[in-house]
Every structure is written in C-alpha cells, then in structure tokens.
Amino acid sequence: MKKIILLFLFLSLALTLYPQVTLRYEENETLTYNEIIRAYQYLDKKFDKARLIEAGTSDVGKPLHLFILSGKQIFDPAAIAASDMPVIFINNGIHPGEPEGIDASIQLSMDILTNTNDMGRYLDKVILCIIPVYNVGGILDRSAYHRANQETPPETGFRGNGQHLDLNRDFIKADSRNARSLERVFRLIDPLVFLDTHTTNGSDHQYTITLIPTMYQKMEPAMGKFFHKTMVPGLFDYMEHTPYEMIPYVNSIRGTPDMGIAAFNDLPRFSTGYAALFNTFAFMTENHVYKPFRNRVKSVYYFMKGLTEFTAAHGDEMLLLKKNAEKETAKQKKYVLTWKTDTSRYEMIPFKGYERREYTGVVTGMPYRWYDRNKPYTKEIRYYDHFAPVMTAKAPDYYIIPQAWQKAIERLHINGIRMLRLLRDTTVTLQVPYITSMDPGSRPYNGHYQHRNVKYRLEERSVRLYRGDYIIPVDQAGNKYIVQTLEPDAPDSYFSWNFFDPILDRREYFSPSTFEERAADVLDQDQELRKAFEEKKKQDSTFAASRYRQLSYIYNHSPWLEDSWMRVPVYRLNGSLTLPTEEDKYTEDISTYLNRYFNRQGRFKDLVQHNKNY
C-alpha cells in the first residue's frame, strides 16, 4: 500500500511538472515564465531528440535556459560546434512585452518533435538551439500596464531586465549576466544562423511581420553576396506563399513609408550586429504591434519554419561560406567602423500601406496625423538597402591591454578571443592612443553616458608592461569583434561604453601657490615653450589676466603632466612579436562552465529538484 501511495505521489508530481503543452495564443494570451520552462521540460522528458540545459545565469539569479533539438542527439554545446552540422540559434524574449517568438518557438519545437507535416526531417539536416526567454527578470515582471501602445496580449513582461537594462543594447558592453551567459554559449556553439524575435510599432501598414537582415556590406564579399542575393530573397519568397507576406522593416527616412524606407544599421550593441561580427547569418523579425497576437505568433512561426527549411536545403554551401569568411577575416587588416545609408542607391519594392490623415485628439483637442485603415493602398516605394563606409581603421598586428583592465579582458575571454600573456616585466615602445576630443554623453543611455564622435592621436611611447599583461594577435576569426571593441573611435568600442573612463581623470596636479618657481624652471629649459607661452599672452587677454591659466598652460606642456592622462590603455604593436609570451590559460574553460549545468543522467530527478525554485 505504501509503495502504491508513493507511486501515486510521484506520478502526480510528474503530471504537475510536465503537463501537456498548451499554448494560448489563439485566445490572445502568452505563457508565463513558469509555463514556458515547464513546457520545455516536458518536451525534454518526452523526446529523445530534445534537451533543455542551463547555459548560465540571469541578472535575477534564475538560469538562462537553452533548448536543443538534434536528430543525432548531440547536446553538448562543444560537440555541437564540432559536429559540422548547420546550427540555427533562436533568441526569444529579449523584450518580454514582445512575446511572439516565445510561443512560436514552442509550437515549432512541438511540430518538429511530433513530425507534424513531416517537419521531423529538419533534424536530419540542422540543429536548432533556442533560448526560451532571454530576459528572465523582465518576463517575471508581468503586468497589463507595460506596453501602452499594445492591446494584445493583455498581460506581458517588462522591457527592462533585472538591472533595468535594455538587453538589445547590451551585446558589446555585456553589463548583464544575461549577456555574458548568452555570449559564452553563442561563441561555444558558433552558430551558422541567428534569429532574434521582436515586435515594433511606429507606422501602421498592412503587414503582420517585417524583417531586419544584418547589413550584407559588413560580411565577407562571397558570404554577403549569397546572403543578399539568395538567402534574403528566398525567405521573402517563402513568406509570400504563406498567409503572412513579409516586408523589410519599415524604417521611414522621410516621415512616412511611401516616401521611402531604409535598411537598419545594426551596430554591434544590437543582437544581429553582434552575431554578424562572427560571420553568422543574422536576422531580426519585427512583428507589427497593431495586428492580432495570434497572427503575430503564426507569422513568426512561418518565418522560423522557412528559415529552417532554407538552412536545411543550403546548409553545406552556407557552412563553406562561413568557413571561408573566417579565414578571410583572420587575414583582414582594414575594417569599416561606421556606415551611413547611401541615398543615391535604392530599389523599388511594392508596399501595402495606409494613407495618413489628420485627427483631433479627444483629450488635448489638438490635431495629429495617423494612418487610416479604411484607406489602404499598394504602391511602389524606394527601399534604400545600401550603406557606404564613413570611417575605417587599419588594425595593427597586435593590440596590448594591461591586465588591470579586467572588465575588457573578461569580455574578450567570454567571446573566445585568443590572447597571449606576457612572461616578464618589460618596457617596450608602442603606438599609444591619446583622446583629443569627444562628445561625452549628456544623458544616460542604457546605463552609460556613452562617448560619441571620439577623436584620438597615436604617439610612439615607451610603455611599462608587466608579467601577465595581455597581447591580442589580430589574426583570428574574431578580428571584427576585436577591432570594433578596441578601436577607441568605433561607435560601440569599449572606450565609448566607458570601460576606460578613469583615464579621463587626472591623478596628479599642481598647486598654484607653490608651482610658480618650478614653472619658471620649465620655461628656462624649454625655449620653444617660452616663445609659445609669451605669444599666447599677447594674443589672449583673458589668458594674460589669469595667473592660474598661465601656470596650468605651463604644467600641461611640461614633463610634470602625467603620461597616462587621456591615454587609452589599448596599445598597438606592428611587426613580428619578440616579447616573451605564453598562450593565455583561461581559468574557466567555457565547455566546463556549461557542463556544470548539463545533466546527462538523472535529468528528470534533477529537474524535479530544481523546479522547487520556481
């Protein structure tokens, strides 16, 4: 009798933890966090070709999950990378108020695993890796009052994460544990294709789904040509044969879509811009917020299905393109740091929109313009999808970063960048960047006062290095990430995101009360400086009338000025490396890190135990 009771309790617990997966998007509802994880736990338990693992931690302390679908049952992330199988990596819930991809991914997984419409065949050709929900803190903060412009579903999660960060502005700087966890597993798996699912508002039009492909000009030429000429058109064609025709993301450049739309410049702070740094075919779906939720879910489901079919059909060719691109990237020396839309080049595309007319506000009584759904139109519009380079950089043979700057070093480690360690203290002549001007942020942007319009000069300086400092060869597949983070004037560089801000402060200075005699000695020893000083007094009456300004001028042009002020601690070395170094032995191997969460046996028991935390 006792055994029967225990068995009954066990089965009851199992049914509670692993109910049949019931999606409610047809009823205008999206799943809660607990329901999402339990759905994937159920699929993990029921199907041998599925596995749910914990790929790190989020800012709220709960795990970042990764769901893997593999026909060959390859579930270790390191083994996935070594399998030479095309891998599609889908990220959902970066903004939990935009949950279409969350529900669509569960539906897609169920249909593949149950072989609905022969979809199980996909797993013979591809491996699917799905982040069920990326912004865990945001989805746990569920409310009907987060999305003022969104009517459906009535309750969703919050845009910010546990740190109040927008995670889709966090990929390069990786302030969040979410980003650092995702980047570890992303770089370990090294996927061929990446998809991030979103919702957008803005203009109104007739489309339920729009698409942002990463900028093809940023890609290695052969890979970019395939992406622009074959893959992207193929996906648009696929969607045209579904109930949900797709249009490029409606990024109006002159007020309304009928005046033309432009491709999106996805900087490395964004998910697709980050993924493209590693020669990954990257996409972002943007469902239209004003359409019914069930249709938004179904439209991104169809896109996921089409993306999987395309990758299964072209995977061998795409893998070869990626491998060749990585080889070319390792040899590349010149990089584009910034781009701008080339408005002299465009193509005409059909667009189904609504006319705009003037309304009167019911509260303010004031006029405003919006779209009239009773007046649809179809017309040819300009689509600007070409970008021109604005600023380029020639990378050195090596960058050098002192070990003191651990925030930068940690992110280079996470992203799999190969580094060397200096074996002894030494002094060496290097190219050293000094900031000459910048626009410091006047308002916060995602947790930072970001520097913009950065200018710097390079000087040859003798620099003291210490045993353990880092030397980064610019000869690797991650070169694009290296250059975009370490060139000070790149728009998403570590410097722009304030990683090196202490160098903007002075640590030594002078006292006007006692510096006068030393200033005189400086002028006696430097006649060119004396000449410039006297000329400045003649030309600048304010300067001539200020004792402090005069002494400050002399100090700033004297050997007393600290050499490290305004010096970005990312040095450059060209030529062969003669410094004594060894390969960096990163203390936490990424595979070991992930395998701490990877239960090959006793998974049901472990998940039952873990579920007590939810």
Give 538-544's long-range contacts (Cβ < 8 A, gap of 24+). none
DSSP 188: H
Which residue matches tokens 């910034």? 338
CB-based contacts of 307, cutoff 8 Å, min separation 6:
88, 193, 195, 235, 283
Cβ atoms of 421 and 468 closer than 8 Å = yes
pLDDT for res 20: 66
* pTM exceeding the 0.85 threshold for the entire prediction: yes
pLDDT for res 14: 38
Helices (H), 133-292: 136-140, 177-189, 221-226, 232-240, 271-276
Which of the residues in the chain have pLDDT under 50? Answer: 1-18, 587-588, 590-591, 593-594, 596-614
The CA distance from 607 to 362, in Å, is 53
Model pLDDT for residues 424-438, shown as the tens digit of each residue: 999 999 999 999 999
Measuring CA to CA, how many Å separate 384 from each of 13, 27, 250, 406, 596?
Answer: 56, 38, 11, 41, 47
| CA dihedral of residues 182, 268, 411, 507 (deg, nearest 10) | -140
Q: How many CB atoms lie within 10 A of CB 445?
A: 14
Strand-pairing partners, residue 573, are 398
pLDDT for res 451: 97
Q: Which class for 391: exposed (0-12), middle (13-18), buried (19 or more C-beta within 10 A)?
A: middle
The CA distance from 493 to 481, in Å, is 10
Model pLDDT for residues 292-304, shown as the tens digit of each residue: 999 999 999 999 9
